[in-house]
Amino acid sequence: MKVKIMADCFCGANSSFEECCQIYLSAIQHAPTAETLMRSRYSAYATGNADYLVATTHSSTRKLHKKVAILEWSKSNHWMKLEILYSTETTVKFKAYYIDYRGKGQIHEELSTFAFEKGKWYYVDGEY
């Protein structure tokens, strides 16, 4: 019997990155729910995928999120884990744990709002 070692996805799901968020990051499929999109966006931060983060930000707020800044923020922190506190159809409350560039542990807590448009979910904005 072949034992498959499965590392959990960055987003904390019980399946590997390849079987979880990478499906959305590589645009094989669109995230089917706001929570899946949120999880995949966390994995995008963890892997420095700024293109995905820009592409999944809603057109109404995209100009507020510069790609260079996203890339710098994702790369300067070490992403430890994501904790989903709750989610509804269009919102996700979460905590993202990371180590900042000074080596200090930080928690980013946010209530994010998402919108479904033309078959895809987008991140609109967040309160934190």
> C-beta of 125: minimal distance to Zn ion in Å?
22
CB of 39 or CB of 50, closer to Zn ion: 39
CA distance 47 to 19: 15
> C-beta of 50: minimal distance to Zn ion in Å?
18
CA distance 73 to 39: 17
Closest CA to 121 of 88, 96, 72: 88
Q: Is 72 helix (H, G, I), strand (E, B) or coil?
A: helix
> C-beta of 10: minimal distance to Zn ion in Å?
6
Instruction: Kindly state the tokens that stand for 7.
Output: 């590392």
Reduced to 3 DSSP states, what percent helix, strand and coil does the chain have, rounded to the nearest 5?
A: 30, 30, 40
CB of 20 or CB of 70, closer to Zn ion: 20
> C-beta of 102: minimal distance to Zn ion in Å?
28
The residue assigned the tokens 């990155």 is 17
CB of 62 or CB of 81, closer to Zn ion: 81
CB of 42 or CB of 122, closer to Zn ion: 42
Cross-strand bridge partners of residue 84: 94
Residues that bind Zn ion (CB under 5 A): 9, 11, 13, 20-21, 39
